[in-house]
Structure 1
């Protein structure tokens, strides 16, 4: 009887030790963490043009489908800009056509100047022969020379004007540089007018909405968020001592705190290249003499393979989860 208590105590110690060993083995094969949060793509909705908000077609937490109208900006200024761009384009086309017409006129002047030079040259040749025969005076030869030189100068001037007009006109019609520039401005004005209607780039839920009709918005200024309902994943922070057995592709069991009893399935997608502390705003500096070693945690990306069957169990960004990774495949592969 006197040995009963020591035996019971020894059995208790063995049982506790065995339980701790089994727990340690289980935790080694099935590492888990509560430091895990549900994530999704969150898009910032911003207009590409500024102006006064005319209508807001969505409300807070509303689910929208890709292409649904979110809000509309007043188009008065944009329509005026479009009309101005259209007028500038029409003017550029008219100026180009006028330049082409000038080319025809200047080409005719060149032909006339060339013909006049030919006549003046013939008159000079005849006068020169008569002067050599002594039939005309020096003054007649000088006059013929002056007329020829003037005709040659007129031809040079006409040809220079024609070359300048060709350079100004460039290529014909819509290929003219001025026309291309005006056409580009017109296209931009048309695009800006279409951007007055802001639509959902993806399907998801509207969040952080406080936009109201009449508000003035600036281009590229974020107004509210859209939580995409496509891909969902979990960012789980595991202790560095757990990483030795973690591999991409391993199955994961996911429990979400807001839905007790719900279990989802996932897959390890990737392991972080650095600890969370390294990428924090103020990384720790351990250069002091009172340094204390702290187990670091590394982010592990887990892809969510299943969704809740119950439509009322909506997934929500930032929800706390508990994930457990099944690493038994490593032992089976040995």
Structure 2
């Protein structure tokens, strides 16, 4: 087993993209993006897609390769990412993966539980329910359909709630009944590099990034997506808040403050997820890429 996957993780706005590019240049390799928000070509500013000059420094895969109208699951990503890795490992011994979507990272490194296919209309109806009645309606429904999963899922993550409920409704069985502990074998070894910082530093960086997004045209980007706000890809921070603004429910100032607040909450959930991996090598966000490269070289 000579192939190596270097997985760069951490909360949003911590500097993962920059480090991944530096590592890719150092090891003369390519980058797999495991950021589920950056898969969609219609979403650019609100998902912090790497700038053109960043993308030009190293080959990237799974950046804006799908449409928001596509039915694209974490299982689809697992299959496509593994196929791409098989291709890359024919010419590279090392590949970099970067992203903040813990479930998608685990799909590549450990494998997913197997779920049956269900009618896509169920997800659409659940997203409409979310939009009309709020996230509390999904929380209550999950409490009824699968109390075991309700007790451990992140109840503030609409994607997780919708995913669990579509399985419950589509199969007539609890989502938790499909969860297994055994993981699949991979052809590669994984080294996980985590970036972190003091909580206030993370929050300050998030607030600054949201302000930059607004100045770069986030409001107009979301305005152009109003007709598609019911789609699963758009049930995410930075978009839902501005949809409330365009509906007249919130002021613009309040919507922006909610984006900042919800992004901070998202970062906290990310760190809770990532801390479960005891093998992660953690570094302060301002650690030089040279030091991290040297540490990886020593491990190799």
TM-score band, normalised by shorter chain: under 0.3
* TM-score, normalised relative to structure 1: 0.17
Structure whose CA Rg is larger: 1
* TM-score, normalised relative to structure 2: 0.18
